[in-house]
Amino acid sequence: MAACVTGFLTGLSLILAIGAQNAFVLRQGLLRAHVLPLCLLCALSDAVLIAAGVLGFGALTQALPGLPRVMALGGAAFLLVYGAQRLWAAWKGDYGLVLSGRSAPLGATLAMGAAFTWLNPHVYLDTLGLVGAVSTQFEGSHRLAFGLGATTASFVFFFSLGYGARLLAPVMTSAASWRVLDTAIAAVMWTLAAGLVLSA
pLDDT at residue number 155: 96
> If 0-12 CB within 10 Å is exposed, 13-18 middle and 19+ buried, where does residue 158 land?
buried
Give the DSSP H or E segment for 88: helix 67-92
pLDDT at residue number 61: 61
Number of domains in the chain: 1
Question: pTM, whole model, 2 decimals?
Answer: 0.74
Count of beta carbons in the 10 Å neighbourhood of residue 55: 14
Residues of the chain with pLDDT under 70: 16-18, 57-62, 64, 67-68, 71, 75, 95-102, 129, 133, 172, 200
Q: To 5 degrees, how large is the angle CA 38–CA 50–CA 58?
A: 130
pLDDT at residue number 128: 75
- Reported as a single tens digit per residue, the pLDDT across 110-150 is 999 999 889 887 787 778 767 776 777 778 888 889 999 99
Give the DSSP H or E segment for 54: helix 35-54
Q: Please give the residue range of the domain that contains residue 105.
A: 2-199
pLDDT at residue number 44: 96
Q: Closest Cα to residue 126, out of 23, 13, 22?
A: 13
